Structure 1
């Protein structure tokens, strides 16, 4: 009888303890959000106060040159001020609603970041007055040794912090709480923008890799730059001939849809001494990969790549290297086969 009376009390205590834990975590995260927003705003203040505002007044850069470097940073700074104002007053929901209405600013800033870096490098290189001004401002004690280049990525770094902090807040907020729906909307919006920014950065990095490999290849017969193509890896491998010929060392470039086999151009060639000549392009859509064992002595391994009209045997003396190649090839082939096929391709 007594046990039956005690059980609901014990359950109630457990529920209250869980709620108390949630509330402690929520309070801790809310405090962290405010404190990190204050530090973020202080760093944005450095750029706005000591660069943007003074450059406007001095005219060291033309308006178009200034916009190319800083993009919508002033608007992002204003948005952060507004958010912090609401957070410090305890108006989380109102602050998040206001912030999310301005979230596209972070998307525009992400699109502009790489061009901004190039524009900054160009001004440092060609504009003596700006170069001296930049060095003087960065020497201020408030900058703590940071350069303008270190501060420009701050908004995108902060965006990823928002995603984690807001998610933690939502997970420790009761669905019955008045701010829960506002938090849920904010988490969804910020996560979507954060993923878009990350994908934009990945796409840009991939474009640079494709362009780099294109420049490494002699001539323009092989077009590395192609829509939907992703760079995977590159490296030296030994090609084992089918008949008793000499093993040949070649440089391979692996992409999401093709494997390119190359050999280095002659070191004394006037124009192409640092380039590679393409010898074959293998479509991964028609490829199967297998590890071949027992054909190498000691360390290393052998891969067999089978195409409709050719089998390629690739060897490395490094076991880890051959394992990585095997994984990269099988992953690329699997992902390629999972893609929707176009009848016209």
Structure 2
């Protein structure tokens, strides 16, 4: 830090001296420009070190006062804790390494090496909004949790910072890296020893920033489509389809072919379909809809009637705007009182139709290749989707494998507990309900004999067939004492370990 300050002072002195004697000399002006670049580079480097140390200190405050204590004081459930703090501890470890590399190597080399690890920020950024909502929810729900947060925020080393402000810093950090590195590269000469590494680091961090932004957009798109799906009853098709993106939503007036008063309908535009619905009669909040029709954009044509800027269309800004959508045998005449809203709809529809047409080879979704659907066809599609989901669920069901002689440690404990709960003299366990024993029975029996011994007075495990059922007949007094001691010791160790952690946490958080 002192070295950076000295270099900055030297650069300023050189610049002042050069400015006195330049007098329009090209060589002197070039030297002045180089001095300005060096001065700017020194300033950026100093800023990167200072902001990185401050940022790392903020992460350590989160871990020290909130993340770590809340793991063990049982003020909030474990899943709530995981959602609030996400992977902030992993991010902190990455940034500790980054700062260490910056101090011992060059900035370009440090970021070039650690840029791939910055992808950890993607999952944190995706979860940030949910984390803040959970934090506020539990502060209202639990007075103990709210009091704990307040007490921790009043610690001296927090310097007035609040937990909300600390939790958002990782979301802002990668875009900040991108700006600083680009500025640093711009003020680094091509013959500088760190130029090539810095250039590569800028490219990598830019790619990471783009990746994070795209990841956030995909997550937001998923959440939006999920909320729209919940607004519809069972009449709507499945909206969560790979490759589908939400574009626009809004109320338009649908003009009936039979004439009469136009009706307000809620329209949802996606990258491959246009869907609209009407409010459910029993819903007083008007937040849920019944699906009326689904139009695949692949077969749609857009025509402006009036109010738009399309050639040949009449301008009528006072009366709003009207446009027509034709999809095979289906046609919709839609009207908006707001000409700007009408223009926005026509632009988005036209753009979506053109984009889908250009990328048709990569967007061949079932919903995009069908004719317009309404009424019975929508119910039929929904039933087919439900049957398909049930079939996939059945195919992915877990099937227990056949019993083998080798048992895991947990299975050994289960066997021990079964013996103690049953008849201590001769515990019999039926296993035909969850095992498949067929042609390999003999092989299993041979394996059992090899493991537990045979011809030594009695076998630990013997199979007998009673009424077509397979049984395991145990003589549980064998190794009873040994297993009991082992299980008891493990339980004692677990309790001692848990008590130690509780005592450490109480001492750390000053809990009596």
TM range (shorter): 0.7 to 0.9
Report what 2:53 is aligned to: 38
Report what 1:328 is aligned to: 348
Report what 1:307 is aligned to: 327
State the alpha-carbon separation in 2 of the partners of residues 146 and 75 from structure 1.
22
Over alpha carbons, which structure has the higher Rg?
2
103 and 246 in structure 1: CA distance in 2 versus 1, 3 angstrom threshold: closer
Instruction: Give the secondary structure class of the aligned counterpart of 2:342.
Output: helix
Normalised by the size of structure 2, how large is the TM-score? 0.57
State the alpha-carbon separation in 1 of the partners of residues 73 and 221 from structure 2.
39
State the alpha-carbon separation in 1 of the partners of residues 343 and 56 from structure 2.
47
Instruction: Give the secondary structure class of the aligned counterpart of 1:278.
Output: strand
Residue among 165, 190, 205 paired with 1:175? 190
2:109–2:201 Cα contact (<8 Å) kept: no
The alignment status of 1:316 with 2:328, answered yes or no, reads: no
Instruction: Give the secondary structure class of the aligned counterpart of 1:103.
Output: helix
State the alpha-carbon separation in 2 of the partners of residues 272 and 60 from structure 1.
35
Normalised by the size of structure 1, how large is the TM-score? 0.82
**Count of residues in Structure 1 that have an aligned counterpart in Structure 2:** 335
Report what 2:292 is aligned to: 279
Aligned-residue Cα RMSD (Å) equals 3.3
2:250–2:268 Cα contact (<8 Å) kept: yes
Greater mean alpha carbon deviation, residues 241-250 or residues 192-201: 241-250
Instruction: Give the secondary structure class of the aligned counterpart of 2:190.
Output: coil
Question: Relative contact order (alpha carbons < 8 A, sep ≥ 6): 1 or 2 greater?
Answer: 1
Post-superposition offset of 1:166: 0.6
Instruction: Give the secondary structure class of the aligned counterpart of 1:281.
Output: strand
String of CA shifts for 1:262-320, please: whole Å, max 9, x gaps.
Answer: 11121xx2799642111111111112223222486824111122222233221111111
2:109–2:198 Cα contact (<8 Å) kept: no
308 and 169 in structure 1: CA distance in 2 versus 1, 3 angstrom threshold: same
Residue among 189, 195, 205 paired with 2:210? 195
Residue among 229, 234, 237 paired with 2:244? 229
Residue segments in structure 1 that go unaligned for 5+ positions in a row: 1-8
1:238–1:315 Cα contact (<8 Å) kept: yes
Post-superposition offset of 1:69: 3.6
Report what 2:118 is aligned to: 103
2:231–2:287 Cα contact (<8 Å) kept: yes
Residue among 291, 304, 313 paired with 2:304? 291
String of CA shifts for 1:174-216, please: whole Å, max 9, x gaps.
Answer: 2221111221222122112211111111111111111111111
Instruction: Give the secondary structure class of the aligned counterpart of 1:290.
Output: strand
String of CA shifts for 1:71-112, please: whole Å, max 9, x gaps.
Answer: 432343243344445556784345435543643433454465
State the alpha-carbon separation in 2 of the partners of residues 324 and 143 from structure 1.
48
State the alpha-carbon separation in 1 of the partners of residues 126 and 172 from structure 2.
14
Report what 1:5 is aligned to: none
Residue segments in structure 2 that go unaligned for 5+ positions in a row: 1-23, 307-313, 367-512
The alignment status of 1:49 with 2:64, answered yes or no, reads: yes
The alignment status of 1:218 with 2:233, answered yes or no, reads: yes
